[in-house]
Amino acid sequence: MSGPGPERGVPPEDIRAAELKHDVDVLAVHRHAFREASDPGEGAENGPWWFWAAAVAALVFGGFYMGRYGGVFAGEAAVHLQPAGASAAGTAAAGAAAERVDGSAVFSGRCAACHQGTGLGLPGVFPPLAGSEYVNGDPGRLARLVLRGLTGPVTVAGATFNGAMPAWADALKDAEVAAVLTYVRSHFGNTAGPVAADAVAAARAATRGRTVPWTAGELK
């Protein structure tokens, strides 16, 4: 049996010629692809000139605007909040509003431990605020009592108590004292009017030199 190639009668040179005829030049096939430009690198392109010009202009304008009208950069910007011709009373009222204090919070933190959350106090120990002639009486006397404290026997709502109340002048501001006094004078069944911070400030100034608590006799 005859085998492939020359053994079947095909000359070797013809086989070689046929092989050369069908050979593929790999470089020749890809030569056209090599002429193509490479893909651009993403994110490496420069933006158009007009975009950068607009960005710089926006930054310059924004800096000018904030410097001219921003309160952070211009200390006088707050002046624009005050209308022309505004009265001193209006300015004082605005300051008082800024210092407004929650009287119930002051009471809870400073007074409730002794006078109780109900304002009834503790019989024989701490006098009540409910129905108290001190609470419902002269607001100036009440402010002096709270600011400088009280010692010795005192009669409140028909009952006598012999103890001491600390002075709050160093612990509470005028607005805080006014707020808590206004609170107790309008709660626990009391119907007295509010106490202004100015009245507390006047009581503080009038008793500035006092270093010992009041007695009930002195307050009367």
Residue 149's domain is classified under what CATH number?
1.10.760.10
- Residue type present at position 184: V
Residue 87 lies in a domain: no
Segment 177-186, tens digit of pLDDT: 999 999 999 9
pLDDT at position 178 is 97
- Has residue 24 been placed in a domain? no
| Mean model confidence pLDDT for the chain | 78
| Residue 107 burial class via C-beta count within 10 angstroms: exposed 0-12, middle 13-18, buried 19 and up | buried
- Provide the domain limits for residue 124: 102-219
Q: Is residue 15 part of a domain?
A: no
Residue 34 pLDDT: 59
Does residue 73 belong to any structural domain of this protein? no
Please give the backbone phi and psi of residue 160, each rounded to the nearest 5 degrees, phi first.
-100, 135
For the cut 50, the answer to whether the pLDDT of residue 216 exceeds it is: yes
Per-residue pLDDT at 8: 52
Q: What percent of the chain has pLDDT over 90?
A: 53
21 domain-assigned: no
Instruction: Give the total number of structural domains in the chain.
Output: 1
Number of residues that this document lists for the chain: 220
Whether the per-residue pLDDT at 27 is higher than 70: the answer is no
Backbone torsions φ then ψ of 37, nearest 5 degrees: -70, 150
pLDDT in tens, 164-199: 999 999 999 999 999 999 999 999 999 999 999 999
Residue 72 lies in a domain: no
Looking at residue 30, its pLDDT comes to: 58
Assigned domain for 115 exists:
yes
Residue 100 CA to residue 53 CA, distance in Å, equals 51
Q: Is residue 45 part of a domain?
A: no
